[in-house]
Amino acid sequence: MRADRPGFSIKRRLLWTLLVPLCVILFALGLSGAWLVQRNVENSSDRVLSGSLQAIGETLAMQEGYITLDLPPSALGMLENVDRDNVYYSVIYRGKVITGYPELTTDQSANSLESIRFRDGLFHGVPIRIAMEAKLVPQLDSPIIVQVAETTKNRRAVANRIMVTLMASEVFLLLVIAGLVFFSVDWGLKPLAALRRTVESRIAQPELDFAPLPLKDVPQEVLPFVSAFNTLLKHVEQTFDTLRRFTSDASHQLRAPLAVVRTHVELLERRAEGSPEVRTSLSDISQAVRALQRLIVQLISLAKAERPSERHTVEVFDLVECAAAASRACAARAFDSGMEISFESDQNRLMVYGSPILAGEMMANLLDNCIRYGREGGHIIIRLPDGLGRLEIEDDGPGIPPGQRERVFERFYRLPQNSDREGSGLGLSIVQALGKRLGASVSLETPSNGVGTRAVIQFQRV
């Protein structure tokens, strides 16, 4: 059976609902951050540029009819930086370059006095930032225009550095949140994992446990679910109880009339009267009654094996003694069917966990199968091959085809080759159910010589 496709995991849901809006927010933050960074870097760089410009402008003077300019090294030095931006300047009077780089064009249109203006420009194709001041010098009718410019490498680099740091922080934040989601979901679901373990340990138990799940430590969000589950458990237990009583009652109800039929049929057979047809009928009836009896007995023991009404507490018992008793009990029947039976054990005692009564019932069913379906004149071997709690029951009959080894454990399934033999088809189902209750595993294999069937029960050693 294929499991239904599970829904989105809680982690995935949380990640989607958390990370998508978070990404949008971080993107917006990034955009506004970029704008702020750009503006701040521009402002502070412009301030340095204007400082440099003012330092040059301060030295402008008229001396003996000449315009003099003292270019202090500090004025341009303050523009020095790690990115080695180029610095340009020019001093212009009446549209004529007095000193500096003539390529540094002026913006004549905006020519206001005593205020520093900034603009972007190009110098030999390289983007530059230009600061310009129109300065009035005494004795001159027209203002002198001083310009200082620098390439924009440094300011771009500073802005980039800040942007990269911002981006890295955002990515880091995203990763931390994703990690926190994983961690917190795991942590938050821990009580659920504990519940799961409780339920799983019950599945592993041979006897069904309908006790309600503990509500202690269950998170409030899950409480209604667990409570509902407990209610369901209670319902199942009640249904189970009803079924249990039904099986017990049905056993009684079926056995009593069967005892009547059997008694009277046997009495009639004993009187040796009637025509041959009557005698054949009687023999058929008697055979059918015995088959019916066996079916009922097997059904009841299967029902009992699958339910925990009679609590056989797990005890320690001697597997050798138990197997020997089961073998002794079936020896006469094996001989009646013309078979040999032998018992092989290296040990005199082998203590295992389980219940000797249930283990004996398992062996009796397996031995019954050997006698029923084995070869006439065949050999049944009960073997305890090592000290590991392994019991083998082996015949040299027709064997079970490997493809059928799972199916023979199904209720009422019988091999096609055995359809003409009497049998209920429940023996191996009973063996398996009993094994589950004892914590013993049952498997079928082919003996090493390739003939027959070997049933293996692995008990838990003490």
Partner 1 sequence: MRLLIVEDDAALARGLLKAFRGDGLAVDHVSNGQDALDVVKMEPYSAIILDLGLPDLDGLAVLKRMRTMQVTAPILILTARDGTNDRVNGLDNGADDYLSKPFAVEELEARVRALIRRGQGSHDPIVVLGSLRLDRATGAAYLGDDVLELTRRERSVLETLMSKVGTVVPKSRLSADVFDYDDAVSPNALEVYIGRLRRKLERSGLEIRTVRGLGYLLRQI
Residue ranges in contact with partner 1 by CB under 8 A: 248, 251-253, 255-256, 258-264, 266-267, 270, 289, 293, 297, 300, 304, 310, 324, 327-329, 331-332, 335-336, 340-345, 357, 382
Please name which of 433, 415, 412 lies closest in space to residue 424, comparing C-alpha atoms. 412
Least distance to partner 1 from the beta carbon of 385, Å? 13
307 close to 247: Cβ distance less than 8 angstroms: yes
User: Between residues 169 and 293, which has the closer beta carbon with respect to partner 1?
Assistant: 293
Question: Closest CB to partner 1 among 238 and 342?
Answer: 342
The whole-angstrom separation of Cα 199 and Cα 192 is 10
Secondary structure (3-state) at 56:
helix
Q: Report the distance separating Cα 334 and Cα 438, nearest Å.
A: 27
Residue 52's Cβ-count burial label (10 Å; 0-12, 13-18, 19+) is buried
Of 198 and 253, CB closest to partner 1? 253
CA atoms of 304 and 251, how far apart (whole Å): 11
- Shortest reach from residue 355's CB to partner 1, in Å: 10
Element spanning 199, H or E: helix 190-204
Shortest Cβ 224–partner 1 spacing (Å): 41
* HSE value, Cβ hemisphere, 13 Å, CA-based, for 350: 22
> d(Cα 361, Cα 124) in Å, to the nearest integer?
104
Q: Is 293 or 458 the residue whose CB approaches partner 1 more closely?
A: 293
Judged by beta carbon, residue 118 or residue 343, the one nearer partner 1 is 343
Task: Give min distance, CB of 357 to partner 1, in A.
Answer: 6
In angstroms, give the least distance from the CB of 226 to partner 1.
Answer: 36
Contact 349, 380 (CB under 8 A): no
17 or 253: CB nearest partner 1 = 253
Q: Which is nearer to partner 1, 74 or 263 (CB)?
A: 263
Nearest approach in angstroms of CB 255 to partner 1 is 4
Which candidate, 107, 99, 89, 112, places its Cα nearest to that of 67? 99
Least Cβ distance, residue 252 to partner 1 (angstroms): 4
Question: By CB neighbour count within 10 A (0-12 exposed, 13-18 middle, 19+ buried), where does 138 fall?
Answer: exposed
Nearer to partner 1, 58 or 315 (CB): 315
> Toward partner 1, which CB reaches closer, 33 or 308?
308
DSSP assignment of 67-101 equals EE----HHHHHTT--TT---EEEEEEETTEEEEE-
- Which pair of tokens denotes residue 128? 């530059």
Nearest distance from C-beta of residue 289 to partner 1, angstroms: 8
Question: CB of residue 200 vs partner 1: minimum separation in angstroms?
Answer: 31
Q: Which amino acid is at 38?
A: Q
Type of residue numbered 48: V
